[in-house]
Amino acid sequence: MLIDSHVNLHAPQFDDDRDAVIVRAREAGVGLMLTICDRVSSFDAVRAIADSHDDIWCSVGTHPHEAKENLTLRVNDLTDRANGRVVGNGETGLDYFYDHSPRDSQRAIFLIHIKAARETGLPLIVHARDADAEMAEILEEEHARGAFKLLMHCYTSGPELARRAAALGAWFSVSGIATFRAANAVRAVIVDMPKDRIIVETDCPYLAPVPMRGRRNEPAFLPHVLARLAEVRGWGLDEAEARTEDAFFSLFDRVPRP
């Protein structure tokens, strides 16, 4: 089964043809999707999509870009929503490249998500960009206070953060960035990721893979990501599909395996 572990189906880019996008994903062999919450205020729209489709699940959380919107976020704002088709916590983390929210706000909201991940047992979906050292420190310090499952989503950070996150038992997701011509450093890190903890994603509508680059991304393009992962790791396509499927269900263990 092909599983797109990170889609943003509530995004306005899909307002005109959301149902058709979902149909095309299924026709491309995508058997399951996880649609991601970018802010708690969007949660109802995200959950409505998951509730309407047997092959779509969802998360609850606030992206670091949107941390400034949720400065009063409390742990129970996340834990109270962690039921039904909600199987992940986030997307959350640190983004010091764009700095759309103040860094202290990003850190504070990230810590709230970590506490919620501990309480619910849901995997923490981590966004990290240009914050490798601080991200590693926070994850290590918080993990020492109490373990939690974590996914380094759309991983494009350096090998040191990857090494330290892997030591904490992290999973990693590979996106269309792995197909980009200039992404040699990203592919070099993929080679060393734990082979039983790699999953794939599109992060649609963003980051369309080669040969679709420049277009709006959608889950139907996931086979291009899987093919590049297989090439980088030296796996056959069937092996790559089986490995990423096993890793997904190991991480998101509240999703029943067909």
Tokens of 156: 């494009």
Specify whether the backbone of 90 is left (phi greater than 0), alpha (psi in -120 to 50) or beta.
left
Q: What is the CATH number of the domain that holds 20?
A: 3.20.20.140
Q: Is residue 60 part of a domain?
A: yes
Stated pTM of the model: 0.97
| Per-residue model confidence as pLDDT tens digits over 78-91 | 999 999 999 999 99
Return contacts of 187-190, CB within 8 angstroms, 24+ apart.
187/232, 188/159, 189/155, 189/157, 189/158, 189/159, 189/162, 190/155, 190/229, 190/232, 190/233
Give the pLDDT band of residue 207 (cuts 50, 70, 90): very high
Number of domains in the chain: 1
Q: Is residue 65 part of a domain?
A: yes
- List, as one string, the DSSP characters of 106-135: HHHHHHHHHHHHHHH-PPEEEEEES-HHHH
Q: Is residue 185 part of a domain?
A: no
Give the pLDDT band of residue 42 (cuts 50, 70, 90): very high
Q: Is residue 127 part of a domain?
A: yes
User: In this model, does residue 70 exceed pLDDT 90?
Assistant: no
Q: Is residue 204 part of a domain?
A: no
Q: Is residue 203 part of a domain?
A: no
**Containing structural domain, residue 35:** 2-172+246-251
